[in-house]
A and B are shown apart, each in its own frame.
Chain A
Amino acid sequence: MRQGANRIVAAPAQIVIDRVSHTYRPARGRPVLALDNVSLEVRDREFVALLGPSGCGKSTLLYLIGGFLPVEAGAIRVDDRPIAGPGPDRGIVFQHFALFPWKTVRQNILYGLEKQGMASEERQRRAREFIDLVGLTGFEDSYPAQLSGGMKQRAAIARTLAIDPHILLMDEPFGALDAQTRNLMQVELLRIWQRSRKTVIFVTHDVQEAVLLAERIAVMSARPGHIKEIVEARFDKEDPGLTRSQPFVEMVDHVWNLVRGEAILAQRSGAG
């Protein structure tokens, strides 16, 4: 992809995953090969989905990029530097929100801003801005336990976006929400992404969600996980009739066919 010195024309790969394998070692039982020789390049400002059946290692790959797990075999480079632990350049949103339950919505968002060493007034202003962005105005002083699942995830997204990470890692962020809330949140995420244009890596097992949100979809195989195929899904995301359009439906069908065999395999190995 790199074409000499002209970096503006061809966006360089911001995240380079180079032949990464990962072995999961449970406290009891045999070690499990979770990722097997995975390579993937994600360009600056790109929205990539990691799609696969449960247990295919897609979350493990995300945690490796996040720096939460050590890279043992292969290499991952972000902006040409190997990963050394977690950092605010890579924000993460988890499936179960991971809000600090003893902090209010506002305090949760302020926490990250404090860690960035931002001045007090600026912190307050920015917290208000992001509370407003995710539509939680009026709930600033609520504790997470007082919020619905959708509101918790909005708060978590606001907390992550507020520190302005270059890369947004999302680990099945809408997996714990009901179908209607999930649809609304998907639309909102697209809106936010189009406005802020961050690099997004989005883990999901929902084919329709992957095709709707991502520009490229890395379809992963059942355990041990490796990338089976990378599918381009560049649609006009702002078209309200997109999900009913013929190309979209065909793309969902195509990706679903790729995933189906793996899902069956994953089920068999899970039962065995």
Chain B
Amino acid sequence: MALDQSQATAPGTLGRPPVRVPEFFAPARLLAGLWRYLPLVLLALAWEAATRLGVISPAELPALDKVGSAWWGLLAGGDLGDNTFISLSRAVAGLAAAIALGVPLGVMMAWSKPVRTVFNPIVQAFYPMPKSALIPVVVLWLGFGSASKILMIFIGCMLPITLSAFNGARGTDQVLIWSARSLGASRLATLTQVVLPGALPEILAGIRTAIAFAFVLLVSTELIVARHGLGYMIGWLGDGGVYDAMFAVVLTVAALGFLADRSFLLLMKRVLRWRE
């Protein structure tokens, strides 16, 4: 109480009620955001300066403004939109399949010893394997279309998600399961109502890693064998010597990856708001 009074009588801003501003538009936040990404802006300026001053030949690195107009051209022509849609659909399909299978497998591995005995050696052996080595095999099986890309993304994303679900579920506090059981929950109910939500922080962290893997595998698979997609565009434009357009697609992929990661991080914070 004493503290409240001293605040009310103090001069300045302490006693004033805070002004409610929508978070996104708060000038302080916007400024802080700009400040945070200042190094990125400086890098872009350095790029533009280096090409304009002739430090780097435009054949090796096209000027940023050329890349910008090439990007606009690709967007206006519809190529960029179509191929982005195709690539993102493949990424989403592969990731969704990896989550749908990886999470239950990881949780079951933690829950049941027979399941663990069978799958643990398989998961451990395949986890460190470079998944891109499988691209030719998968293409041989499924051909040049979307199926091979989706399978590659699925293979690459499934293991980190499985392992994170396994570790998260294995770390479940025993007394939480006991509490649920003594409150009347069945063994099966504790699996979905205690073990799964308890493992959620680790599962989401695993999915975040998997999103990054998905982009790597998407572009590398499309680069090697594809007829559509952003990776295919990069390869095709590069082979044709259209470097400004090629760079425009490369930057698009980078921006999409960044946006996907940031959005997922926001989602994570929302879902895990109980963690303080």
Contacts and interface: CB of A to CB of B under 8 A. Distances in A.
Size bracket, chain B contacts? 20 to 34
A270 B203 CA distance: 39
Contacts of B113: none
B274 A102 contact: yes
Contacts of B173: 98
Contacts, number: 72
A159 B173 CA distance: 18
B175 A163 contact: no
Contacts of B175: 94, 96, 98
A88 interface: yes
B205 interface: no
A63 B181 CA distance: 12
Interface in B194-226: 194, 197-198, 200
Contact of B179 (A92, A144, A165): A92
B185 interface: yes
B18 interface: no
B275 A145 contact: yes
A98 B176 contact: yes
Contacts of A145: 274-276
B179 A94 contact: yes
Interface string B234-249: 0000000000000000
Interface string A120-144: 0000000000000000000000011
Contacts of A111: 180, 183, 193
B182 A100 contact: no
A92 B276 contact: no
Identify which of B175, B273, B275 gathers the most chain A CB atoms within 10 Å of its CB.
B175
Contacts of A86: 178, 181-182
A88 B180 CA distance: 10
B54 interface: no
A224 interface: no
A163 B183 contact: yes
B184 A146 contact: no
Contacts of B274: 101-104, 143-145
A123 to B, nearest CB: 13
Contacts of A91: 182-183
A66 B193 CA distance: 20
Interface string B145-185: 00000000000000000000000000001011011111111
Contacts of A112: 183-184
A247 interface: no
A116 B276 contact: no
Which interface residue of B179, B181, B189, B273 has the most chain A CB atoms within 10 A? B179
Interface of B: 173, 175-176, 178-185, 189, 193-194, 197-198, 200, 273-276
Interface of A: 63, 66-68, 85-88, 90-92, 94, 96, 98-104, 111-112, 115-116, 143-146, 159-160, 163, 165
Given A101-B274, A102-B200, 19 more contacts: A67-B181, A68-B178, A85-B181, A92-B178, A98-B178, A99-B179, A100-B194, A101-B198, A103-B274, A112-B184, A115-B185, A143-B273, A143-B276, A146-B276, A159-B179, A159-B183, A160-B182, A163-B183, A165-B182
28 contacts: A67-B182, A88-B182, A90-B182, A91-B182, A92-B178, A92-B179, A92-B182, A96-B175, A98-B175, A98-B176, A99-B179, A100-B176, A100-B179, A101-B274, A101-B275, A102-B197, A102-B200, A103-B274, A104-B274, A111-B193, A112-B184, A115-B185, A115-B189, A116-B184, A146-B276, A163-B183, A163-B184, A165-B182
